[in-house]
Structure 1
Amino acid sequence: MAKQDRAVRTRQELIRSAAVAFDRSGYALSSLTEISRGAGVSSGALHFHFSSKQALGMAVEESAARALADIVAVHARHHPAPLQHLVETSHVLARRLDEDVVLRAGFGLAADATWMEDVSLWRTWRSWVRTTLTSARREAALSPDVPIEDAVSAVTAAVVGAQALGRFDVEWSPEYALTQFWNLMLPRISAMVPTE
């Protein structure tokens, strides 16, 4: 059992080290030597777990996809206030992108021109946002004059932009930026409750 636990830990360390490398240098410029060194294992141990850098990239993406699935696990149909759920979940995602290098690298691979796989976590996030806004529309919480696809694009871009700017400007807080975005956006997309 100890051998299995060690193998699982080694695999996780390799995924994390690959994520750090991909996040810092991009997929093409990351080397297997750098990744194995970052995980504290030999190149033989790396090749025991992963046949190629592409296999490592796919493992990073799969791990990130599981993390995203956990973030969006509460389906909007099961939440009493879909728009509030959208706001809260966007903040959770922004915070996790800031803290979790594997999640961030998984999202980053979608924007990496040298990564040839078709999995895109941004498409998954965008689809979840669309589903949540559709639930809000069904429950009359979303203003009827708001085109859902416009709102989906704005929310997706806000989360992407807040995360990207936060990486390159230490004074830029993704959390603050999203709060400002929602302060501006929420009154525009929320259905007005008639007063009696």
Structure 2
Amino acid sequence: MAKQERALRTREALINSAAAVFDREGYRTASLTAISGQAGVSNGALHFHFASKAALAEAVEEAAAHRLTRITVHGEQRPGQALQCLVDATHHLAGTLHDDAVLRAGFALGSEHLYTGERDLRRQWTQWVESTLKRADGEGELADTVVARDAVVAVVAATVGFEVLGA
């Protein structure tokens, strides 16, 4: 069991280090040596856990997607409070983007043209914002002059600003 726990800690350290290096240097210029060095492990240990830089980036995106899901899931079951849920999640996301390199790197990896991962955190966020505003509209929370699609664009655009400020 001790070996499994150590392996999990090493994998987590590599994901966190990769996120920090991707966040600081970008995917293209990030080196596996810098990532393993920051994690305090050998290049061999890195390659034991991840076959390539792309596989490591996928793990960063997956960790970031889980963090984003935790942010958006909170409060979804409160009927009649979709707008408050949106405000709370947006506020939480902004703060987390400032403090969390994994989440920042996960969003940034979706913008990298050299990396084509499966996940797209901006799309995940946009879909959640759309569904939350649709719920708010259906529950009568939106003013008659508010077009839900326009509100989605505004919230998502603000999020991009949070990403920039978080960096």
TM-score scaled by structure 2? 0.95
- Per the alignment, residue 29 of structure 1 pairs with 29
Alpha-carbon spacing, 1:68–1:37, altered in 2? closer, same or farther (3 Å): same
C-alpha displacement of 1:76 = 3.5
Number of paired residues? 167
- Which residue is equivalent to 2:160? 160
Shift of 1:77: 5.1
Q: What residue number does 2:108 align with?
A: 108
The match for 1:128 is: 128
Residue 85 (str. 1) matches residue 85 (str. 2):
yes
Displacement of 1:69: 0.8
1:107 CA displacement: 0.7
Query: CA separation in 2, counterparts of 1:81 and 1:147?
Result: 18
Cα offsets for 1:127-167 (capped at 9, x unmatched) = 11111111111111112332211110100111211330343
Find the aligned partners of 2:79 and 2:111 in 1 and give their Cα distance. Answer: 31
The Cα shift of 1:74 comes to 3.1
Query: 1:68, 1:103 within 8 Å by CA — same for their partners in 2?
Result: yes
* TM-score, normalised relative to structure 1: 0.81
Match of 1:8 in 2: 8
Give the CA RMSD over aligned residues. Answer: 1.3
Structure with larger Rg = 1
CA contact (8 A) 1:77 1:135 kept: no
Of stretches 115-124 and 87-96 in structure 1, the one that deviates more from structure 2 is 115-124
Cα distance in 2, alignment partners of residues 75 and 85 from structure 1: 6
Structure 2 segments unaligned to the other structure (5+ residues): none
